[in-house]
Amino acid sequence: MTDRNPSVVVIGAGVAGLAAAKKLKEYGFNDVTVLEASEKVGGRVATATLGNVCVDTGAQYIHGTSEKNPVYCLLKKSGLLNQIPEMGTEAFYSDKGHKVDANVARRAYEAGEGIIRYRGSNTGKSLGEHFAEKTQDVIDSLQDNDMKTRMQSVFALVGKDMLIDVGASNLHRISLDSWQYYIDMGDSVNVPGLMFQLVDMLLEDFPKDRLLLKREVSKIKWDGSFSVSPPRDEPLHAHTESASEEKVRQYPVCIVCENGEEILADHVIVTISLGCLKAQASSLFIPGLPTEKIEVINKLCFGNIAKIFLEYEEAFWENDVGTISLIYEDDTPTSVSTDKMQWLKNIQYFSVLRPKERFGNILIGWCPGNIADLVETMTDDEISTAITDHLKMFLGHSNIPQPKSILCTKWRSNKFIKGTYAYLPVGVDGQVMDILAQPLVGSQHPDQAALHQDSSFMYK
């Protein structure tokens, strides 16, 4: 390879891709181009308009409010975190149509949360198996039958909420051992309406002409020798023996876009989602990826969540409420599942967009896994009617109106994302993600890594 400023192409203008490009620029790499398949930057950090309000259809939580978290640090530096509203109180309702004592429910919830977030290692168990066993031990230790029923139903709520956190359909598919790879960086914080500022900050100093939108990539040829001649008016070096020999540059990477455009580079960083890798890895790369990388892509799971935004003329919840949780009294930790025939049983968690002065009266209903996949196929009227009846039953109010507008996210249907985030299934060690991230060195230039992959996965 000739001695020149190496050209780097980053595929994907989500947060991972933009952060990679920003870091390269900071380290003095000037020939950096970002390709984005869609018309927008940001990836799973995204917004949409509901009525007159801009809402976060993608990430809206910072998971870890500490200096170890670069997302937190960037938003803190900007001063935006001073705008975070108070979370509000928690409200719990029973399927019998009455409100549940919030203090009792919270204590039971915290006990269940402590069990489900156990940081084990090399147990070989599923999260569901562990949760069912340990919560049953707690329930068996109780003498009061009413308390047993109450604890069981709240524990089941914890399990359902965990499916939302992970994007999975079944606790028994999730590895208990995966918790050991999560770094505790502090509390999570809800930052509605602020997360997209992160994208703007990453783009601040990046040249607009090096961010190419609507560039869907069809092939990544990463171990070759591709040449391009310089412009005819570029001056020749004094020591040049042959203009043709001196001026033809060789590149190990050729990126082919759907529109026929070809872009040559010394290095390529691939930051597309695991969902897209699952769908395209076997055909996207030439030569094909090594067997160990394909195995990792196939082993890891890529989940989904749906956020259902419900806008009302007037709030039917109290002003200080921040979340609404729905508890089925006959639920148990072993009964937690995502049966599509009973999809409403997995829409048990609603958050209130706060502050009201900014967002008006908007609830977000959250649902996981195959329930999220199902909701993506339903009409707004079907969702609106079903959820309204659902809320009437739990809150015991027959006068709850249907929302005046509704918006449902469709991450699984998005051809450039195909889901929300990754999780570890039972029997798969989290260290496999390091295998996926390892750069690949081509045979043409064995001293240079040509292909780099990002292994970070997002997020709620």
pLDDT digits (tens, 9 = 90+) for 18-28: 999 999 999 99
pLDDT reported for residue 87:
87
Q: Is the pLDDT of residue 311 over 80?
A: yes
SS3 201: helix
Q: Is the pLDDT of residue 143 over 90?
A: yes
pLDDT reported for residue 238:
38
Reported as a single tens digit per residue, the pLDDT across 318-342 is 999 999 999 999 999 998 889 999 9
pLDDT reported for residue 149:
93
| Higher-pLDDT residue of 229, 45 | 45
C-beta pairs of 130-134 under 8 Å, 24+ apart in sequence: 130/176, 131/155, 131/158, 131/159, 131/171, 131/333, 132/333, 132/334
pLDDT reported for residue 79:
85
Which residues contact residue 302 at a Cβ distance below 8 angstroms, ignoring those fewer than 6 apart? Answer: 167, 273, 274, 275, 278, 418, 419, 420, 421, 422
pLDDT reported for residue 231:
52
DSSP state of 175: B
DSSP alpha helices (H): ranges in 204-320? 243-247, 274-284, 291-299
| Higher-pLDDT residue of 183, 41 | 41
pLDDT reported for residue 158:
98
- pLDDT (average), residues 4-16: 92
Question: pLDDT class for 83, splitting at 50, 70, 90?
Answer: confident
pLDDT reported for residue 227:
86
pLDDT reported for residue 68:
87
pLDDT reported for residue 430:
85
Question: pLDDT class for 448, splitting at 50, 70, 90?
Answer: low
pLDDT reported for residue 241:
39
Q: Is the pLDDT of residue 350 over 90?
A: yes
Question: pLDDT class for 77, splitting at 50, 70, 90?
Answer: confident
- pLDDT (average), residues 274-298: 96
Helical axes 15-26 vs 196-203, angle rounded to 10° = 30
Question: pLDDT class for 122, splitting at 50, 70, 90?
Answer: confident
| Higher-pLDDT residue of 123, 326 | 326
Reported as a single tens digit per residue, the pLDDT across 236-245 is 343 333 444 4
pLDDT reported for residue 4:
60
Q: Which domains can be identified in the chain, with CATH numbers?
A: 7-47+196-300+419-453 (3.50.50.60), 85-187+305-408 (3.90.660.10)
Look at strands 440-441 and 449-453 and give their pairing.
Answer: antiparallel
Q: Which of 19, 118, 2, 31 is nearest to 70 (CA)?
A: 19
pLDDT reported for residue 447:
63
Average pLDDT over the chain reads: 90
Question: pLDDT class for 247, splitting at 50, 70, 90?
Answer: low
How much is the pTM?
0.91
Contact 422, 302 (CB under 8 A): yes
Lowest mean pLDDT of 71-80, 180-189, 419-428, name the range: 180-189
Contact 260, 250 (CB under 8 A): no
pLDDT reported for residue 126:
93
Q: Is the pLDDT of residue 1 over 80?
A: no
Q: Is the pLDDT of residue 404 over 90?
A: yes
> Which of 80-89, 184-193, 257-266 has maximum average pLDDT?
257-266
